[in-house]
Amino acid sequence: MFDRINKQPIAIQTCQHSALAISEAMPILMTEINKHPILAERCQQINFRTNLQNELLITLIYRQDIEKKKPQFLKKISELQQKYHWNIIVRSHKKHWFCKQGYIDYTITLGEQTYTYLQDDNTFTQPNALINTQMLAWVSKHLSSNPEQNMDLLELYCGNGNFTIALAKQFRQVLATEVVRESLKLANLAKAKNNMHNIHFVRLSAEETSQALSGYRSFNRLKSIPLSDYQFSTVLVDPPRSGIDNNTLQFLQKFQRIIYISCNPLTLIANLNTLNSHRITQLALFDQFPYTHHIESIVILEKIKTMENHNNDNKRSQYKVKL
């Protein structure tokens, strides 16, 4: 960690706020690394991921090409895996090696339904599993039970299918798009694990998706998907911290309902002020990162009816969001 004022590093000897499996493994791993110079040599960084079942995925990142390290190095890594039952990945520039498997499953329960996802060490996953479960439950609760309002779902920035898998049963069909190949691979594996048949995952950016659905451009990646069969009632977006570009914001205003997941309140506010064709019907904050200034927000917006727009022209400022 670094001091916010002078930017100097602060040595963290223990980390009790992390998941129990991680906080317990950290000192054990450091002891092993300090005991065996072959593990410590040119080790640049160590990453940890875990699930609610306390399984661990540990990544050791080296400056030296792992193919040039001695055979004893990989033997020692395998011994650690067998001794502590960790999933261990070793990475160097553009190369990686793992023993056992390169990902871990994690499961969440919503009501009576359990869903299984996969996370690896190199793609985005909602970091706080307990809060993530609450987020999914909140969105699910606020979706209408009216089948006409829950026709088809379009999802942009779908990642590994976090919201897609959990919400798919409440819609007739789901089209979910993402640009990161590794995330889409995990999403499709989760789709198979959960026996989902009404989801299509496609590698498209948000801008490309809006171009395809608006008829401005065609994509070979969509050849097998009958876009004309979709009747989208809802669009769900979970953009990066930078928010949503202006062209995509204009595209979103065509939808009856928008579900906006945000990790940055500042870009969320700016985007909401552009989405003046809709008004906020539900809003919630989720503390994904306790003891930090970061906050996760979810906003549900409904399109303002044409007549209501006309009557409220002079009241538009009430829909503005201000700090």
Kindly list the catalytic residues. Answer: 263, 296
Task: Please enumerate in sequence order all residues whose Cβ is within 8 A of that of 117, keeping only pairs 6 or more positions apart, or say none.
Answer: 105, 106, 107, 108, 125, 160, 161, 162, 165, 186, 190
Cα 259 to Cα 233: distance, rounded to the nearest angstrom: 11
Phi first, then psi: give them for residue 278, nearest 5 degrees.
-125, 160
* Alpha-carbon 47 to chain mean position: 17
State the Cα–Cα distance between residues 275 and 235, nearest whole angstrom: 13
Which residue, among 70, 121, 114, has the nearest Cα to 91 in the 3D structure? 121
In 10 A of CB 151, how many CB atoms? 16
The angle at the Cα of 146, spanning 213 to 275, to the nearest 5 degrees, equals 45
What is the C-alpha separation between 262 and 243, in angstroms, rounded?
8
Amino acid at 24: E
